[in-house]
């Protein structure tokens, strides 16, 4: 091991650390002799952080409604002035990206983003899928100071090490100016039926080939009948048919279900990088030359607005 210390930003959610946080901790301990975690909020995550490999847990504490980006980055920057981690690993998430970007500007150090692999080759080397995941660009940091890495979900397995609870060290953000002035005044949880998109064993996704927004209901119904989740291509999210939270791809979520059913999705590179890790891929598309067929285990060349309703009928008759 040539790496001495890695820090991992671990995000609290619903009383636990997020799965991506645990994936990063698990991988960090294979790369560095010392792994510390950084978190915030009022929850106690020492046992879980320790179980996945952190020996120290820096806690920024209660953020009093502030968005995490500015205060958490300020706290890490203050710690990094006296300690010197080789790199700070951050989950690619709404708040993770804010933290990494703020930290980058504070430390005047670069961020490497969309990372799906991290290896030690006499220093940290990051792996980035490019051009729809057909190629991997490998990069490293140069110059003095810690590197900052934004890692995509599901890049590594989350495996407990059986470590003792991490020792908790308070890491205050200190006084922030206008940078830290964004405040959460209310939180809305949208009712969701069925499994989460990132965790569902079956994902049925819709794209432009559906023709119009009302037909996305077919995708949702097929997903429901298969006990799966409904996803979407960027094209129909941009068109306003479905919320961003359904988006699968480079700019959206990474999914690796048992089976991914792409309905009317041509397979833009930006979409493929988010789903090509699926165990099985089924594609329905009118265009026989659509790129999605190059990675599909089963391809149906046909109109999604014919095939999908028949599939729904078939699934319904099996259920009854």
Partner 1 sequence: MNVVVCVKQIPDPAAPQSLDASYNLNRSGKLILDEADTYGVEMALQLVDKAGGGEVTVVSMGSADDLAGLRNALAMGAAKAVIVSDDSLRGTDALGTAKVLAAAIRKVNPDLVLAATESSDGYTGTTPVQLAELLGMPSITFAKSVTVNGDTLAVERQTEAGYDEVTAPLPAVVTVTAGVVEPRYASFKGIMAAKSKPVEILSVADLGLADQVGPAGARQAIVDVVTAEARQAGEKYVDDGDGATKIVAFLESIKVL
Query: Site residues for partner 1, window 248-277 (CB under 8 A)?
Result: 250-251, 258-259, 261, 268-270, 276
- Residue 278 CA to residue 202 CA, distance in Å, equals 10
Half-sphere exposure of 281 (CA within 13 A, CB side): 21
Closer Cβ to partner 1, 220 or 303, answer by number:
303
Nearer to partner 1, 56 or 233 (CB): 233
Considering the rule CB under 8 A, would residue 195 count as an interface residue with partner 1? Answer: no
Q: Which of 47, 164, 182, 217 touches partner 1 (CB under 8 A)?
A: 182
Of these, 42, 170, 189, 320, which contacts partner 1 (CB under 8 A)?
Answer: 189
Identify residues 144-163 at the interface with partner 1 (CB under 8 A): 147, 150
CB-nearer residue toward partner 1: 5 or 261:
261
Binding partner 1 (rule: CB under 8 A), the pick from 39, 93, 155, 233 is 93
Q: Are 254 and 271 in contact (CB under 8 A)?
A: no
Q: What is the number of other CB atoms lying within 10 angstroms of the CB of residue 197?
A: 24
Which of 82, 185, 193, 214 binds partner 1 (CB under 8 A)? It is 185
In angstroms, the first-to-last Cα distance of the chain is 58
168 sits in which H/E element:
strand 167-170
User: For partner 1, which residue of 27, 29, 45, 109 counts as binding (CB under 8 A)?
Assistant: 109
The residue (of 47 and 105) whose beta carbon lies closer to partner 1 is: 105
- Minimal distance, residue 158 CB to partner 1, in Å: 17
**Residue 12 is a binding residue for partner 1 (CB under 8 A):** no
* DSSP SS3 for 174: coil
SS3 65: coil
Per rule CB under 8 A, is residue 214 in the interface with partner 1?
A: no
- Strand, coil or helix: what is 32? strand
Binders of partner 1 among 120-139, rule CB under 8 A? 121, 125, 129-131, 133-139
Q: Is residue 110 near partner 1 by the rule CB under 8 A?
A: yes
Q: Is 301 helix (H, G, I), strand (E, B) or coil?
A: strand
User: What tokens does 198 get?
Assistant: 């990132």
Identify which of residues 36 and 263 has a Cβ nearer to partner 1 in the complex.
Answer: 263
Distance CA 292, CA 294 (A): 5
Using the minimum distance from each CB to partner 1, give the nearer residue, 5 or 237. 237
* Closer to partner 1 by Cβ: residue 72 or 166: 72
Exposure b/e, 104-135, CB count within 10 A at least 16 = b:
bebbebebbbbbbbbeeeeebebbbbeebbee
Q: Which residues contact residue 77 at a Cβ distance below 8 angstroms, ignoring those fewer than 6 apart?
A: 103, 106, 107
In the list 1, 157, 188, 193, the residue contacting partner 1 (rule: CB under 8 A) is 188
Q: Which of residues 56-85 bind partner 1 (CB under 8 A)?
A: 67, 69-70, 73
Interface with partner 1, residue 213, by CB under 8 A: no
Contact of 281 with 263, CB cutoff 8 Å: no
Token readout for 127 is 């792996």
């Amino acid at each position: 091991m040539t790496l001495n210390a890695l820090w991992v930003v671990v995000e609290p959610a619903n009383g636990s650390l997020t799965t991506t946080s645990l994936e990063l901790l698990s991988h960090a301990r294979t790369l560095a002799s010392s792994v510390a975690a950084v978190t915030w909020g009022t929850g106690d995550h020492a046992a879980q952080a320790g179980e996945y490999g952190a020996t120290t847990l820096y806690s920024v504490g209660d953020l009093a409604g502030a968005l995490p980006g500015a205060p958490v980055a300020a706290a890490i920057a203050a710690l990094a002035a006296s300690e010197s981690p080789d790199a700070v690993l951050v989950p690619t998430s709404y708040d993770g990206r804010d933290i990494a970007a703020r930290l980058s500007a504070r430390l005047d150090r670069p961020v490497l983003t969309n990372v799906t692999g991290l290896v030690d080759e006499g220093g940290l080397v990051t792996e980035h899928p490019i051009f729809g995941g057909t190629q991997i660009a490998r990069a490293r940091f140069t110059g003095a100071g810690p590197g900052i890495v934004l890692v995509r979900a599901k890049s590594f397995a989350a495996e407990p090490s059986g470590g003792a609870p991490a020792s908790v060290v308070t890491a205050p953000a200190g006084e922030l100016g206008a940078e830290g002035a964004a405040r959460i005044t209310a939180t809305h949880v949208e009712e969701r039926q069925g499994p989460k998109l990132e965790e569902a064993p079956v994902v049925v996704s819709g794209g432009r080939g559906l023709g119009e927004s009302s037909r996305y209901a077919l995708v949702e119904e097929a997903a429901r009948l298969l006990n799966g989740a409904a996803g979407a291509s960027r094209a129909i999210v941009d068109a306003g048919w479905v919320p961003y939270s359904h988006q699968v791809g480079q700019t959206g979520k990474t999914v690796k279900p048992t089976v991914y059913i792409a309905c009317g999705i041509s397979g833009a590179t930006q979409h493929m990088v988010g789903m090509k890790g699926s165990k099985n891929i089924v594609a329905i598309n009118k265009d026989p030359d659509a790129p999605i067929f190059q990675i599909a285990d089963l391809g149906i060349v046909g109109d999604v607005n014919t095939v999908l309703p028949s599939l729904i009928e078939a699934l319904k008759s099996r259920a009854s």
